[in-house]
């Protein structure tokens, strides 16, 4: 017999949340093709938006989003403006809350900065739900594997001299990382080919190797470069064209044997759908913080898997290792050390694969260093 006086087990409510804007410094200024072509300046820090959510019953969740170069203060301001809409809501209603936050700021759009600000809350809500269940996020979503293939990007930037580049590949392999990605897209294409050729010879014919042009080629140049890169047996050629050129990417998919990868700069499921619809990629590379969190990421994943595409989520390995574990097709996860100082925990890598954490939720806690890098902070609601 049910006791009507007893509150329902899932009648918890959000009572408090905290927001932080963190300027995470990078050890060295970072340059890719966009810097060499004059479109951007070297990157020296990453703006991190951190959200912590607490409920009446004492459950907590941690989430984050980010921006490279401009955008961090804007994300913080938008998140703070819409945050009161979460107070009093049931934290289990994650999809409903994503829509509520989205419509609260719909006048400035349902993608880009607005959805990225929401993404920090969305990740925190999924983290809370998994922690409350005593499950890792991967297990909560439904895991297909306990580890995922991983490749390193941070050692292959264009500012890195070739001799150091080769040392970096050795360091990555010694850590157990299973693939290497190089940046290309220099004004002198011969330099790109020389670097790729040298690294391919250094790694051997069978070790997984990728390249990333960061959107720096027009269509004729992309066709020529893809043709020149065919002999190196690459896992993929990434972002050969502008990130919104679905038609151009689809042409490259049809023309060349080397797979084409793109999607990291897209900021909504609708933008990804255009590439899925046109078959504009062999590897689709959604980024959960950029599309607005885990909720919209799962929509992209479902659409991509239905179309037979393989996913290789961009950046933020601490989050994406869980999401990649839930992919039906074997994914790749990008290994970047940049976010590690934010957290006390480290991901384990073995035999070319990144092990999926088994701790509840994301399995992450903030390091003491975060306080020193915090440039803005605010709280909404009252702690229970």
Q: What's 290's domain CATH number?
A: 3.20.20.120
Q: How many domains does the chain divide into? A: 2
Determine if residue 292 is left, alpha or beta; phi over 0 gives left, psi from -120 to 50 gives alpha, anything else beta: left
Mean pLDDT of the residues in the chain: 93
278-330 per-position pLDDT tens digit: 999 999 999 999 999 999 999 999 999 999 999 999 999 999 999 999 999 99
Contacts 24+ apart (CB under 8 A), 197-201: 197/232, 198/162, 198/166, 199/165, 199/166, 199/169, 200/232, 200/233
Binding site for substrate: residue ranges?
Answer: 32-34, 68-69, 181, 214, 334
Q: Which residues are catalytic?
A: 183, 314
| pLDDT tens per residue across all 384 residues of the chain | 344 444 555 789 999 999 999 999 987 776 666 766 767 677 788 999 999 999 999 999 999 999 987 889 999 999 999 999 999 999 999 999 999 999 887 777 777 788 899 999 999 999 999 999 999 999 999 999 999 999 999 887 888 899 999 999 999 999 999 999 999 998 899 999 999 999 999 999 999 999 999 999 999 999 999 999 999 999 999 999 999 999 999 999 999 999 999 999 999 999 999 999 999 999 999 999 999 999 999 999 999 999 999 999 999 999 999 999 999 999 999 999 999 999 999 999 999 999 999 999 999 999 999 999 999 999 999 987
Residues 293 and 316 occupy one common structural domain: yes
203-220 per-position pLDDT tens digit: 999 999 999 999 999 999
Question: Is residue 3 in a domain?
Answer: no
Question: Is residue 4 in a domain?
Answer: no
Residues 56 and 72 occupy one common structural domain: yes
Residues 192 and 316 occupy one common structural domain: yes
Residues 141 and 128 occupy one common structural domain: no
Binding site for Mg(2+): residue ranges?
Answer: 212, 238, 264
Residues 233 and 161 occupy one common structural domain: yes
Question: Is residue 247 in a domain?
Answer: yes
Domain holding 227, by residue range, is: 136-353
Q: What H or E segment, with its residue span, contains residue 120?
A: helix 112-133
The pTM of this model reads 0.93
Residues 104 and 250 occupy one common structural domain: no
> What pLDDT, on a 0 to 100 scale, did the predictor assign at position 36?
67
């Amino acid at each position: 017999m049910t006791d009507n006086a007893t509150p329902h087990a899932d009648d918890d409510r959000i009572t408090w949340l905290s927001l932080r804007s963190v300027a995470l410094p990078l050890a060295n200024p970072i340059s890719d093709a966009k810097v060499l072509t004059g479109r951007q300046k070297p990157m020296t820090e990453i703006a991190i938006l951190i959200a912590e959510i607490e409920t009446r019953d004492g459950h907590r969740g941690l989430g984050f989003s980010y921006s490279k170069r401009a955008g961090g203060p804007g994300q913080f301001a938008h998140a703070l403006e819409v945050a009161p809409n979460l107070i009093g809501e049931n934290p289990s209603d994650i999809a409903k809350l994503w829509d509520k936050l989205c419509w609260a700021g719909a006048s400035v759009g349902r993608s880009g900065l607005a959805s990225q600000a929401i993404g920090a809350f969305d990740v925190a809500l999924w983290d809370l739900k998994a922690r409350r269940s005593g499950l890792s996020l991967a297990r909560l979503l439904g895991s297909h594997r306990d580890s995922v293939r991983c490749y390193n990007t941070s050692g292959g930037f264009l500012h890195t001299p070739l001799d150091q580049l080769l040392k970096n590949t050795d360091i990555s392999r010694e850590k157990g990382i299973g693939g290497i990605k190089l940046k290309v897209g220099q004004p002198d294409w011969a330099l790109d080919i020389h670097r790729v050729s040298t690294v391919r010879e250094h790694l051997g014919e069978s070790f997984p190797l990728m390249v990333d042009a960061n959107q720096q080629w027009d269509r004729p140049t992309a066709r020529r470069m893809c043709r020149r890169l065919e002999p190196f047996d690459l896992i993929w050629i990434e972002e050969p064209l502008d990130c919104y050129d679905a038609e151009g990417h689809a042409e490259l998919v049809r023309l060349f044997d080397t797979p084409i990868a793109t999607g990291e700069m897209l900021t909504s499921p609708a933008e990804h759908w255009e590439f899925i619809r046109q078959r504009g990629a062999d590897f689709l590379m959604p980024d959960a913080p950029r599309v607005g969190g885990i909720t919209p990421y799962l929509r992209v994943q479902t659409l991509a898997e239905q179309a037979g595409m393989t996913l290789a989520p961009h950046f933020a390995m601490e989050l994406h290792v869980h999401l990649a574990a839930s992919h039906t097709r074997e994914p790749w996860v990008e290994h970047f050390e940049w976010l590690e100082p934010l957290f006390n925990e480290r991901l384990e890598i073995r035999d070319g694969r990144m092990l999926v954490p088994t701790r509840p939720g994301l399995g992450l806690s903030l390091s003491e260093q975060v306080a020193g890098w915090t440039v803005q902070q605010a709280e909404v609601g009252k702690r229970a």
